[in-house]
Amino acid sequence: MTIEAIQEELIDEFSLFDDWMQKYEYMIDLGKSLPLIDPSLKTDDRLIKGCQSKVWLHSELENDKVVFTADSDAIITKGIVAILIRVFSNQKPEDIVAANTDFIDEIGLKEHLSPTRANGLVSMVKQMKLYAIAYQTQLKN
């Protein structure tokens, strides 16, 4: 499934909810569905800078696609990173680098987050794209 198709799916899913309390509950459920990250991957070098909560993000290149795993010590933040993993994991590095993130605004996520959580969201996207750039460079060499 393409990044755009996954983003459209998320927009459709979030549009099913009438209010933001329901959307937060859905995000929390998405966070709970994240596979557990290996505790050995919860290292300082995998912490996302700029997040109020602790968010560990790990990536690997498998069959020329980037696979992300993550965890957070906060349930809303874990839901946010679960959304991003759903969009970007198992995608080619160049597709991640080129992807726009307008879907975040379309589901209303940024405007319903506290400023520090919104900054954390931006930091997560930035870090995922940085990993993708590194893998893109690695594949070219």
CA distance 130 to 135: 9
Q: Is 51 a catalytic residue?
A: yes
Identify each DSSP E strand in the chain by its residue range. 55-62, 65-72
CB 112 within 8 A of CB 20: yes
Active-site residue, selected from the candidate residues 51, 66, 82, 125: 51
CA distance 85 to 96: 11
Q: Tokens for 10? A: 């998320």
CA distance 51 to 78: 12
Q: Tokens for 49? A: 């800078």
Q: Tokens for 141? A: 């060499």
Catalytic residues, which ones?
51
